Copies of this chain bind each other. A is one copy, B any other.
């Protein structure tokens, strides 16, 4: 029988700081920046993230997991403080964070940030929007809090390093809890000391196992990160205590959940580069690692306009290891189709709308003409390719060879073009639910979000 020595140790173990003061540095930075400190690109990118987030949240509203969370919230009861996005019913800010955070990750169609090793917007947006709606905050306040939360979580992701994710932690869930806490701390006006304590309360709740991928728990992780981060900031505001050095202290977050930390990576370009600028968006409702293949084929098609009958073979090359992620050779379900480079290549060649959710249905993956195309696709790997990139070579029956390289790991250079693509995606997600008029009004409101005096004007549009 184990009889641990420390079983009743109510005092803190002696702090053995391995990385002095990174929690404090990030808390001071996060609470110190103002809207005017943000670059124009950071403001613009924040609007992109928020527009995209509203779109995928509304698209995820009718998912069974979202509906179950709404039913539980109704059973628990609560103040009517913030709306369920796209639904209009109001729940407490805590419930809104959980429901909207989960809904927005339900389709796995939300944005990605490589330094976070996960999805930056889903833990932060539901918190800052719910608090903004409750308190009538301005668009500038929401943008600033959002950008600060995303910055904090992405920097913590870079500091924590890859071993965290590789061990089995879902970074969006674990590290996202800090992003939510920082975003909420901003909305609540906490000073840097309180923000550091909120990060402590957040870090001791941070959880989420990658082994739950493929179940409703994966989107739940985003919702719980949002809810727990909001709770952390609310309690810090009330005077609740924690440790102000949760990231670096002995038996703290890094010590328990990663093998190696990297302070310089975490603090790289603080005050100069804004992590939100590097958000990557999904324009195809499939695994992000299929996106370069789809984009490369679209680029070939734009030039060559190939017809399926004239295609002899399609060679796709991705980085070594990518086949483990999205290399299902012949998918037998729509979900498997999202993780099949061959299927994604086939629908791209065929001109199907890769942005539509129903392009990845159990029926579509069995369509004979798509299966014929898929059988022309071979997938190879090589070490020297960029992590998110693909090379596609198409041989036609009349002997022409088309080649394209694409790297979806590079943030878009042209933010205006990115906005236009996101607007198209937004319309596809939202128009069927809310109709054209509301869809366009939301787009317009988000476009000018920094001019909005009271964020509840935005919420009124999705009711």
Contacts and interface: CB of A to CB of B under 8 A. Distances in A.
A213 B12 contact: yes
Given A2-B161, A13-B210, A234 B335 contact: no
B68 A252 contact: no
Interface string A250-268: 1111011000000000000
Interface string A194-207: 00000011011111
A242 interface: yes
A205 B204 contact: no
A433 interface: no
A169 B288 contact: no
A71 B6 CA distance: 32
B239 A212 contact: no
Interface in A65-115: 65, 68-69, 71-72, 75-79, 92-94, 108, 112, 114-115
A359 to B, nearest CB: 16
B167 A256 contact: yes
B117 A7 contact: yes
A284 to B, nearest CB: 11
Contact of A11 (B79, B92, B335): B335
Contacts of A7: 112, 114, 117-118, 288-289
Interface stretch (A217-225, A344-352, A395-403): A217-225
Copies in the complex: 2
A215 B335 CA distance: 45
B239 A215 contact: no
A249 interface: yes
Interface string A170-208: 000100000000000000000000000000110111111
A238 B216 CA distance: 12
A435 interface: no
Contacts of A12: 211-215
A211 B161 contact: no
A4 interface: yes
A106 B330 CA distance: 56
Contacts of A357: none
B210 A251 contact: yes
A343 interface: no
Contacts of A242: 212, 215-217
A3 B386 contact: yes
Interface stretch (A35-43, A318-326, A446-454): A318-326
Given A3-B387, A6-B165, A11-B335, A215 B243 contact: yes
Q: Which 6 pairs, one residue from A and one from B, show the smallest C-beta to C-beta distance?
A: A168-B251, A3-B387, A8-B288, A77-B79, A12-B214, A211-B251
15 contacts: A2-B117, A7-B114, A8-B287, A8-B288, A9-B213, A10-B287, A12-B215, A13-B211, A72-B235, A77-B79, A168-B255, A168-B256, A169-B256, A204-B211, A211-B251
